[in-house]
Amino acid sequence: MSKIAEGLLYSESHEWVKVDGNVAIIGVSDFAQSEMGDITYVEMPDVDDEVEAGSDFGALESVKTSSELIAPVSGKVVARNDELEDKPEMINEDAYAAWIIKVEMSDESELDALLNAAAYAEIAK
């Protein structure tokens, strides 16, 4: 069984969002990392890039597969987790600690479309 952290929001494409004021901290769920296996590379946007809800903002590569990262919300990238460049396995070790980017949201109502932990638990199995 994969872990699902309470208090976060989730997308159907297995990203999680932690809301901090008008900033969305974004990562991928434990279910996603477990499905992918050993993650070897994280492709991330640059700070100040714009991301759009529903569009890809990067990708995860594992040994076997690659998977696009889909932005759960729109806005400007204000930070990215450069530690993942050398240690992509941090996502395997703790998917909820290994955030990928932080986005200054342009439309906080987009959060309403995301799932809570209980609803996400229904699709992450």
Q: Min. distance of Cβ 22 from other proteins in angstroms?
A: 28
CA distance to 8, 56, 88, 101, 118, per residue, from 20 (Å): 11, 22, 24, 13, 21
The one among 12, 43, 50, 104 contacting other proteins by CB under 8 A = 43
Paired with 67 in beta bridges are 60
- List phi, psi (to 5°) of 73: -140, 165
Q: Min. distance of Cβ 26 from other proteins in angstroms?
A: 18
d(CA 83, CA 21): 24
Does the protein bind other proteins through residue 50 (CB under 8 A)?
A: no
Does the protein bind other proteins through residue 1 (CB under 8 A)?
A: no
Would you tell me which residues interact with other proteins (CB under 8 A)?
Answer: 37-38, 40-41, 43, 56, 59, 61-66, 68
